[in-house]
Amino acid sequence: MKPRVWAPAASRVELDTGGRLTPMRPEPGEWYVADADLAPGTDYRFVLDGGPPLPDPRSRWQPDGVDGPSRVDDPSAFAWTDAGWRGVEPHDLVIYELHVGTFTPDGTFASAIDRLDHVVALGATAVELMPVAEFPGGRGWGYDGVDLFAPHHAYGGPDGLRALVDACHGRGLGVVLDVVYNHLGPAGNNLARFGPYFTDRYATPWGDAVNFDGRGSEEVRRFFVDNACMWLTDYHVDGLRLDATHAMFDASPRHFLAELSEAVDGLEVELGRRLVLVAEHERADEILVRDRAAGGYGLDAVWFDDFHHAVHVAFTGEHTGYYASFSGLTDMPRILERAARTGGRRLVACVQNHDQVGNRARGERLGQLVSPQAARMAAGILLASPFVPLLFQGEEWGAGTPFQYFTDHGDPAVARAVSDGRRREFAAFGWRPEDVPDPQDPETFDRSKLDWRELEREPHRSVLAWYRGLLALRRRAVS
């Protein structure tokens, strides 16, 4: 690999390979290149204007975490076995969302492979991985990633992810990867040192927005398009779930998401397999799934939280926070009208997901809030609906373990800010600060791991049989 980096914020860039500094020559467009060919496995960093050595913004591997050196990865060295795989059509999707770190006791890509047969037997057609791009520490949800091209080291790194995707395809499962293009995490985020990746012209809940439409935005947009194409090409991923697209601000003539979908459409033809783009948006804006020729962004589907909120209110009676404007099943005519207008298979619905469970103070699942009968009824409403169904890990057996918010920030100031902010966030729901587990406490993470032994006893076996039966009926109904 010949190291290259876009660094308009620097006047001098050097390549650091284990303390040996090599000047990099400038190229047009404010890029710098090193006249060196680094072999796979070589560690390296960049030094800007004599400052501290920094990881490559496009690092493919961070074996020692966000503050360690980048390592050269060789995608061609992996022995894929999925040559006949052609992807998953959006209308066939039954999505099983999982968090690699809590899906199994070991919390790795490799250990997740051992549970894929369970997902197949359930009746899902694709797994959706919560973000795996390198984030601070060894545990976290992944939405504070900072090395967006590098699979997390604690999960098993690049070849670990490739092995998981290959194993999924071997079992007939597609893979959708959750990616975050609206912000980066607060710790280990060095992009601003290299160039104008961020702008203060817009504000997000996480700070400055990504610069999609200001000075230097052409290369910033290219960075994220290249990132998406890398996951789809080098890791054979079948689709991407784009986090919080309402926090992606772009006033340019062609929105970044339209540019992204056009690039993915072209890649789909090149690769000869179906690729899927799914957006999260707080209002499920229809422009996301409208054809580009009609002024839309051309994505395949969007998360539809209104369905979840209506069902949740109907069965729990909760009306605080973002449930305040929902009345329950009386919202269903409006929700089904939206399905008819947009197309049900363009809307992803659920009765549980990582947000709706994990953003409760104690991370309770629906089955811990309502009776077993009510939880089954909620599942029945979802799986009989016209929407693309999404199930959250453990939901299918009524898991008794919570899913809580956990982090592993090494910077005490960042850790304290995250913990304090979490408690303030829950004030709108009426939850007391003392009810909110500390995200930094390792026990918060450990409590959130699935207990697969539950499948050996009731009522979990019966709940699983209910979900399997419902999904089998759904398959027959839509086939």
pLDDT at 269 over 90: yes
Beta bridge partners of 129: 98, 177
- pLDDT tens-digit series, residues 244-264: 999 999 999 999 999 999 999
- Give the residue-averaged pLDDT of 309-318: 96
Q: Report the 3 state secondary structure along 163-197.
A: HHHHHHHHCCCEEEEEECCCCCCCCCCCHHHHCCC
Question: Tell me, what's the pLDDT at 411?
Answer: 86
| Count of H-run helices and E-run strands, the chain | 14, 20
pLDDT at 196 over 70: yes
pTM equals 0.97
How many CB atoms neighbour CB 219 within 10 A? 17
Question: Tell me, what's the pLDDT at 477?
Answer: 86
- Give the span between the Cα atoms of 210 and 250, in whole angstroms: 9
Whether the Cβ atoms of residue 248 and residue 261 lie closer than 8 Å to each other: no
Question: Tell me, what's the pLDDT at 79?
Answer: 98
- Give the residue-averaged pLDDT of 19-37: 96
Q: In degrees rounded to 5, what are phi and psi of residue 31? A: -95, 155
440 Cβ contact partners less than 8 Å away, ≥ 6 residues apart: 406, 407, 408, 409, 415, 418, 419
- Give the span between the Cα atoms of 359 and 101, in whole angstroms: 17
Q: Is 258 left (phi over 0), alpha (psi -120 to 50) or beta?
A: alpha
- Give the residue-averaged pLDDT of 445-470: 97
- Give the span between the Cα atoms of 23 and 354, in whole angstroms: 46
pLDDT at 320 over 90: no
Q: Give the active site residues.
A: 243, 280
Question: Tell me, what's the pLDDT at 412?
Answer: 87
- pLDDT tens-digit series, residues 73-121: 999 999 999 999 999 999 899 999 999 999 999 999 999 999 999 999 9
Q: How confident is the model at residue 415 (pLDDT cuts 50, 70, 90)?
A: confident
Residue 254 carries which DSSP code?
S
Whether the Cβ atoms of residue 99 and residue 393 lie closer than 8 Å to each other: yes
Element (H, E) at 97: strand 95-98
Question: Tell me, what's the pLDDT at 317?
Answer: 95
- Give the residue-averaged pLDDT of 237-242: 98
Assign 455 to helix, strand or coil: helix
Q: What is the mean pLDDT of the chain?
A: 95
- pLDDT tens-digit series, residues 128-149: 999 999 999 999 999 999 999 9
- Give the residue-averaged pLDDT of 296-307: 98
Helices within 345-403 (DSSP H only):
354-358, 372-383
Integer CA distances (angstroms), 360 to 20, 141, 226, in order: 49, 14, 35
Assign 239 to helix, strand or coil: strand
Q: How confident is the model at residue 428 (pLDDT cuts 50, 70, 90)?
A: low
Residue 427 carries which DSSP code?
G
- Give the residue-averaged pLDDT of 214-232: 98
CA end-to-end span of the chain: 47
pLDDT at 403 over 70: yes
- Give the span between the Cα atoms of 291 and 253, in whole angstroms: 16
- Give the span between the Cα atoms of 86 and 271, in whole angstroms: 9
- Give the span between the Cα atoms of 62 and 47, in whole angstroms: 17
- Give the residue-averaged pLDDT of 357-381: 95
pLDDT at 160 over 90: yes
- pLDDT tens-digit series, residues 30-86: 999 999 999 999 999 999 999 999 999 999 999 999 999 999 999 999 999 999 999
Q: Which domains does the chain carry?
A: 83-478 (3.20.20.80)
pLDDT at 423 over 90: no
- Give the residue-averaged pLDDT of 189-215: 95
